[in-house]
């Protein structure tokens, strides 16, 4: 059984503060920097390391140019070799020493980038998960699970890659090119300027490429999310696929998305190919300039042979970063598209959240529920779902809600724990508007068994104790008894330790409903809301549940949605809803006397025997 530890609670508290403090959405890089909390200095050391090891690349051409000029060519070469052989060896040793040192720096530098990027990834992933957890129903209706999964996996990895590789490559290119430029200038200003004249040409290529590639990456990211959504929906809804023998259709549908994603990937990769010839041309131009201008300066005696070799030996330090540009720009744009998606969630705020000074205390609510002229319409809907609903449930009373499918019953009860906000009127609990309570406090006082039962991949015990992980096994068993679930659980091979699969696979509909009822009762709520919770339970068991609900060892107001008269007839008040309005209300006897919808229902279900 999984129980929430103190440490987990502590993590929860700090994450909550964090999530609430993040409000204004900054630029992408600034956002990255804010998430480097605690490792900014280390990252700066990493960048410094990049500059150092790239600067050190110049040592090899420097030493080789000295060796060539002083010991291999030139008039005094033979003399120097005879008299200063020690310097010759020292230069070679320095060349090897610097190379080894450089390799070591590269090794530790890469490690720094990796560590920092993983730390940032960990932090952002936790914040994202935290944000997603705290969102309201509107958010879940808006975002598809596959898309959200893409954000916390693929998109987040693009963010990590930015820190671990792209930024390093940018600094590497920058430091290599600038160090080479400085060294070129130091050797021969004129030749350096001739070579660096290719700069503006290259800049033009970058600007054009960037313009073309940015939308491609945004599209690529959408295609990936689309493919993940199809896969996720199919895997979780596989039983429906099987029931309708639609495997081939679904495989083809996935194949379409997969192809689409592949083609977009190829198209994105090929975009660089359009620009590559220009880059390659510019890179080769470097060599031509060097040969022409360098040769000329050499003949004129303005350049030594050693310097010419050093110039030539370093052209790669300018040409290579140029060739890497496509890769870097690609990855940068991938980061841009992905980070936008990640930041959407990072900076999202639930519409339904605690007011300032919201009410919360240790005492239990009494459970008086009052709807005062409540109206409601879904944000994405264009018709009112609830119209002028008014009723009161006194503490301990049972209110039954009946009505044909789609009349608004579930929508009504979802307003009590503030899953949605009423668009008109007020919902009061113990005389206080639900909006004035802290959400946590309000929801802790409500036990809800939803219409669609969702159990976790956990033991039955863990599922029942989900709302209150502190309760002991005896209590879990007691609540299971109230819900008439103990019998079948005890018969299972591992009893309460039996692991139920995702969504409660391995249990019947009625068994799942009973576990869900036990879970709702286990929080000892002040208000118990049951949405069609016993619809799949046989009549005998249902009778037993009805009896147990009357004998609970704590007081609670019960709001029960049901279709069966047998479930509702003993309620203190029965509300009949039609098209979002309460059209009849009263006790079983009163409603039968009225001779309306309820009386018809009684006739239909009981053949008039209860009349």
Taking residue 524's Cβ as centre, other Cβ atoms within 10 Å add up to: 20
Could you tell me which residues are beta bridge partners of residue 449? 530
Question: Residues 478-517 vs ligand GTP: string with x where CB under 6 A?
Answer: ----------------------------------------
- Residue 451 sits in the site that holds ligand GTP (CB under 6 A): yes
User: Could you tell me which of 340, 342, 396 has the C-alpha nearest to residue 368?
Assistant: 396
Could you tell me which residues are beta bridge partners of residue 585? 575
Could you tell me the smallest distance in angstroms from the CB atom of residue 416 to Mg ion?
14
User: Could you tell me which of 246, 584, 217, 542 has the C-alpha nearest to residue 400?
Assistant: 584
Could you tell me the smallest distance in angstroms from the CB atom of residue 562 to ligand GTP?
10
Could you tell me the smallest distance in angstroms from the CB atom of residue 397 to ligand GTP?
21
Cβ–Cβ < 8 Å for 335, 221: no
Out of ligand GTP, Mg ion, none, what residue 385 binds, judged by CB under 5 to 8 A for its kind, is ligand GTP
Cβ–Cβ < 8 Å for 65, 305: no
**Strand pairing category for 458-459 and 499-500:** antiparallel
CA atoms within 13 A on the CB side of 442: 25
Contact residue for ligand GTP among 199, 406, 501, 608 (CB under 6 A): 406
Out of ligand GTP, Mg ion, none, what residue 199 binds, judged by CB under 5 to 8 A for its kind, is none
Out of ligand GTP, Mg ion, none, what residue 38 binds, judged by CB under 5 to 8 A for its kind, is none
Give the binding range for ligand GTP (CB under 6 A) out of 56-64, 302-310, 408-416, 548-556.
408-416
Could you tell me the smallest distance in angstroms from the CB atom of residue 128 to ligand GTP?
24
- State the residue number with the nearest CB to Mg ion: 410
Instruction: Pull the structure tokens for residue 526.
Output: 């002040």
Could you tell me the smallest distance in angstroms from the CB atom of residue 452 to ligand GTP?
9
DSSP state of 530: E
Out of Mg ion, ligand GTP, none, what residue 411 binds, judged by CB under 5 to 8 A for its kind, is ligand GTP
Out of ligand GTP, Mg ion, none, what residue 141 binds, judged by CB under 5 to 8 A for its kind, is ligand GTP
Q: Which is nearer to ligand GTP, 227 or 448 (CB)?
A: 448
Residue 120, SS3? Answer: helix
Give the binding range for ligand GTP (CB under 6 A) out of 239-247, 409-417, 546-554, 590-598.
409-417
Count the site residues for Mg ion by CB under 5 A: 2
Q: Which is nearer to ligand GTP, 159 or 407 (CB)?
A: 407
End-to-end Cα, the chain, rounded Å:
49
Helix or strand (DSSP H, E) at 508: none
Instruction: Pull the structure tokens for residue 57.
Output: 């690349």
Out of ligand GTP, Mg ion, none, what residue 381 binds, judged by CB under 5 to 8 A for its kind, is ligand GTP
Could you tell me the smallest distance in angstroms from the CB atom of residue 331 to ligand GTP?
39
Cβ–Cβ < 8 Å for 368, 572: no
Q: Which is nearer to Mg ion, 326 or 580 (CB)?
A: 580
Phi then psi for 133, rounded to 5 degrees?
-60, -35
Angstrom distance (rounded) from CA 485 to CA 472: 17
User: Could you tell me which of 344, 427, 355, 309 has the C-alpha nearest to residue 127?
Assistant: 344
Could you tell me the smallest distance in angstroms from the CB atom of residue 505 to ligand GTP?
23
Question: Residues 539-568 vs ligand GTP: string with x where CB under 6 A?
Answer: ------------------------------
Instruction: Pull the structure tokens for residue 245.
Output: 């023998």
**Strand pairing category for 581-586 and 573-578:** antiparallel
Could you tell me the smallest distance in angstroms from the CB atom of residue 409 to ligand GTP?
4
Residue 492, SS3? Answer: coil
Footprint (CB under 5 A) of Mg ion, residues 424-463: 451
Footprint (CB under 6 A) of ligand GTP, residues 115-174: 141
Angstrom distance (rounded) from CA 258 to CA 251: 10
Contact residue for Mg ion among 410, 513, 533, 546 (CB under 5 A): 410
Cβ–Cβ < 8 Å for 2, 462: yes
Footprint (CB under 6 A) of ligand GTP, residues 372-391: 378, 380-381, 385
Cβ–Cβ < 8 Å for 371, 352: no
Q: What angle do CA 234, 237, 241 make, to 5 degrees?
A: 75
Could you tell me the smallest distance in angstroms from the CB atom of residue 598 to ligand GTP?
16
Out of Mg ion, ligand GTP, none, what residue 595 binds, judged by CB under 5 to 8 A for its kind, is none
The site for ligand GTP (CB under 6 A) is made up of 141, 378, 380-381, 385, 403, 405-411, 451
The site for Mg ion (CB under 5 A) is made up of 410, 451
């Amino acid at each position: 059984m999984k129980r929430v530890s103190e440490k987990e609670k502590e993590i929860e508290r700090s994450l909550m503060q964090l999530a609430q403090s993040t409000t204004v959405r900054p630029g992408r890089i600034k956002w990255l920097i804010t998430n480097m909390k605690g490792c900014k200095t280390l990252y700066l050391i990493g960048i410094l390391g990049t500059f150092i090891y790239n600067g050190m690349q110049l040592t090899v051409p420097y030493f080789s140019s000295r060796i060539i000029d002083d010991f291999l060519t030139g008039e005094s070469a033979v003399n120097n070799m005879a008299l200063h052989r020690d310097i010759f060896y020292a230069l070679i040793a320095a060349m090897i020493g610097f190379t080894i040192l450089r390799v070591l720096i590269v090794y530790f530098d890469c490690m720094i980038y990796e560590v920092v990027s993983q730390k940032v990834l960990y932090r952002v992933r936790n914040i994202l998960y935290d944000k997603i957890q705290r969102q309201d129903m509107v958010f879940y209706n808006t975002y598809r699970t596959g898309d959200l999964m893409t954000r916390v996996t693929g998109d987040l990895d693009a963010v990590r890659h930015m820190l671990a590789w792209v930024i390093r490559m940018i600094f590497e290119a920058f430091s290599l090119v600038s160090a080479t430029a400085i060294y070129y200038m130091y050797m021969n200003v004129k030749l350096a300027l001739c070579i660096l004249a290719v700069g503006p040409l290259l800049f033009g290529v970058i600007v054009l490429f960037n313009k073309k590639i940015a939308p491609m990456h945004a599209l690529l990211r959408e295609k990936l999310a689309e493919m993940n959504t199809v896969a996720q929906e199919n895997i979780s809804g596989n039983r429906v696929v099987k029931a309708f023998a639609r495997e081939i259709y679904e495989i083809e549908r996935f194949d379409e998305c997969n192809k689409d994603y592949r083609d977009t990937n190829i198209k994105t990769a090929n975009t660089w190919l359009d620009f590559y010839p220009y880059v390659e041309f510019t890179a080769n131009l470097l060599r031509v300039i060097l040969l022409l201008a360098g040769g000329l300066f050499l003949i004129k005696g303005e350049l030594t042979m050693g310097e010419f070799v050093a110039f030539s030996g370093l052209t790669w330090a300018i040409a290579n970063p140029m060739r890497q540009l496509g890769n870097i720009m690609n990855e940068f744009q991938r980061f841009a598209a992905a980070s936008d998606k990640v930041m959407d969630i990072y900076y999202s705020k639930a519409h339904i959240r605690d007011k300032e000074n919201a009410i919360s205390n240790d005492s239990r609510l009494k459970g008086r529920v009052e709807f005062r002229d409540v109206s409601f319409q879904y944000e994405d809907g264009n018709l009112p779902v609830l119209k002028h609903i008014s009723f009161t449930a006194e503490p301990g009373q049972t209110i039954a809600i009946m009505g044909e499918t789609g009349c608004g019953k579930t929508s009504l009860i979802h307003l009590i724990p503030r899953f949605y906000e009423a668009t008109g009127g007020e919902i009061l609990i113990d005389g206080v508007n639900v909006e004035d309570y802290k959400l946590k406090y309000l929801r802790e006082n409500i036990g809800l068994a939803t219409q669609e039962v969702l159990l976790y991949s956990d033991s039955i015990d863990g599922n029942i104790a989900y709302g209150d992980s502190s309760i002991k096994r005896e209590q879990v068993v007691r609540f299971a008894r109230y819900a008439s679930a103990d019998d079948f659980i005890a018969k299972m091979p591992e009893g309460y330790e039996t692991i139920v699969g995702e969504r409660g696979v391995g249990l019947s509909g009625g068994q799942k409903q009973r576990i869900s009822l036990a879970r709702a009762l286990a929080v000892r709520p002040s208000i118990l809301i049951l949405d069609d919770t016993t619809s799949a339970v046989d009549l005998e068991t249902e009778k037993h549940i009805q009896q147990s609900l009357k004998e609970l060892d704590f007081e609670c107001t019960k709001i029960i949605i049901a279709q069966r008269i047998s479930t509702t007839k003993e309620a203190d008040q029965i509300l009949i809803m039609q098209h979002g309005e309460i059209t009849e209300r009263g006790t079983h006897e009163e409603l039968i006397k009225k001779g309306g919808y309820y009386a018809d229902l009684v006739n239909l279900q009981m053949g008039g025997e209860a009349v």
